[in-house]
Amino acid sequence: MVVSGKGFFRGIVDKITGTEAGNDGAVDERGKETAKPGFFERLKNGLSKTHETIVGKIDSLLLGKKKIDSATLEGLEEILISADIGVSTTMELIALLEQRLKRNELSDGETLKRALREEVLSRLSRESAPLDLDSAKPYVIMVIGVNGVGKTTTIGKLAGRYRSEGRDVLLVAGDTFRAAAAEQLEIWAERVGVDVVRHKDGADPSAVVFDGCRAALARNKDIVFVDTAGRLHTKVNLMEELKKMRRIMGREIPGAPHETLLILDASTGQNALSQARLFRDIAGVTGLAVTKLDGTAKGGILVAISSELKIPVRFIGVGEGIDDLREFDSEQFVDAIF
């Protein structure tokens, strides 16, 4: 039997938020609950395919080599490009490693991997920064991205997190185009204990944003999440719609949106880089949340985006659970890969 409607969405949210019975931990073969692994372990497990795509192939490349030479770096170049680190970023990394090779700093495989790790970490750390939620009240976060990347789920998880920290959160259902988008957001709001402003499906998104901003001010909210439609990023009407929503936010709440958070699906690889570039140019992206890192071999895309577009990664997701979306820690991420 196919389940649809509110019951279906509620079941998904129940699973993610852990409101179903027995969802707090794993169960062993004897039926006893076991402790849930720590986030770093889940991150490492989630990035295992990315680890194999990069480090596993590097180890194979280095097998039997007594010294690092230009041929080794050529092989490394192919590995990095295949790992979705991108041509531009890969060429930069190889050029820096060539300089180290000329200075006799790459004596063996371990020094090569250590040097690569340092260069990757340097790129990710440059653009790594948390949100300054206390810089404005209400702090308005406009959430954008194409359909299917997990915008609504990401909003729900972040709302739950900030609510647990004692912040008063409001959700604004600005995606009036996709059927049941507002309903999904409403279910999330109910589950994590926050307010939501919504209109009927097909309503003017800018009108919803206007009412949401007014409600946030009247109710003295700390944080406002504005969901938006996720039609294809090539559609001119969507981009014009986003611009109009931004103008209304800025008019009603000075400085809003304080963050324009682009949600990307890591498993799409280079397509995620293309989306980030287009949304940055048109919608003024200020931060990224990268979802679905668990199980993908394309985690290297974070390096490409951070290096080429200079947009900070704010959050990463490595699973379905509400605790599997965390603030991005560049050192932890690189450790998980290497």
Residue 283's pLDDT is what? 84
Q: In the predicted model, what is the mean pLDDT of the chain? A: 87
In a domain, 234, yes or no: yes
- Kind and range of the H or E run holding 33: strand 33-34
Same-domain status, 34 and 61: no
- Residue 264 φ/ψ, nearest 5 degrees: -125, 145
> Which of 74, 106, 126 is a domain's end point?
126
217 shares a domain with 204: yes
Please tell me the predicted confidence (pLDDT) of residue 29.
46
Phi, psi of 168 (to 5 degrees): -90, 115
Q: Is the pLDDT of residue 305 over 60?
A: yes
Are residue 188 and residue 265 in the same domain, yes or no?
Answer: yes
224 and 298, same domain (yes or no):
yes
3-state class of 53 per DSSP?
helix
176 within 8 A of 184, measured Cβ to Cβ: no
Q: Is residue 336 in some structural domain?
A: no
Tell me, yes or no, whether 37 and 121 share the same domain: no
Does 22 lie in the same domain as 157?
no
Question: Percent of the chain, pLDDT > 90?
Answer: 62
Q: From CA 232, how far away is CA 266, in angstroms rounded?
A: 17
pLDDT tens digits, one per residue of 107-150: 899 999 999 999 999 999 887 778 999 999 999 999 999 888 88
pLDDT given for residue 234 in this prediction: 53
- Residue-level pLDDT at 129: 75
- 3-class DSSP state of 39: helix
- Across the range 251-267, mean pLDDT stands at 95
Give the residue-averaged pLDDT of 80-104: 94
Most confident of 52-56, 176-180, 282-286: 52-56
pLDDT digits (tens, 9 = 90+) for 208-254: 999 999 999 999 999 999 999 886 555 677 778 888 999 999 999 99
Residues 153, 94, single domain; the answer is no
232: left (phi over 0), alpha (psi -120 to 50) or beta: beta
Closest CA to 213 of 289, 137, 135, 158: 137
Of the pLDDT bands very low, low, confident and very high (cuts 50, 70, 90), residue 297 is: confident
Residue 25 has a pLDDT of 47
Mean pLDDT, range 186-213, rounded to an integer? 95
pTM beyond 0.75: the answer is yes
CB 243 within 8 A of CB 206: no
* Domain extent at residue 201: 133-329
Q: What is the pLDDT of residue 13?
A: 65
CATH number of residue 155's parent domain: 3.40.50.300
Same domain, 27 and 153: no
If asked whether residues 145 and 275 sit together in one domain, one would say yes
Q: Is residue 182 part of a domain?
A: yes
Query: What pLDDT does residue 12 have?
Result: 56
Are 152 and 292 in the same domain? Answer: yes
Name the domain boundary from 126, 153, 177. 126
In a domain, 335, yes or no: no
Q: Which residues pair with 141 in a beta bridge?
A: 225, 259
> Do 34 and 54 fall within a single domain?
no
Same domain, 179 and 87: no
Domain boundary among 93, 108, 126: 126
Q: Looking at the domain assignment, is residue 1 inside a domain?
A: no
Determine, yes or no, domain membership for 337: no
Residue 158: which pLDDT band, with cuts at 50, 70 and 90? very high
| Total domains, the chain | 3
Q: What is the mean pLDDT of residues 59-76?
A: 92
In angstroms, the CA 66 to CA 117 distance is: 20
Residue 24 has a pLDDT of: 44
CATH of the domain at 94: 1.20.120.140
Average the pLDDT over 158-174 and give the result: 96
**What does the pLDDT read at residue 2?**
33
* Cβ-contact 265, 295 below 8 angstroms: no
Distances in Å between the Cα of 309 and the Cα atoms of 43, 68, 92, 272 are 24, 31, 14, 12
In-domain check, residue 185: yes
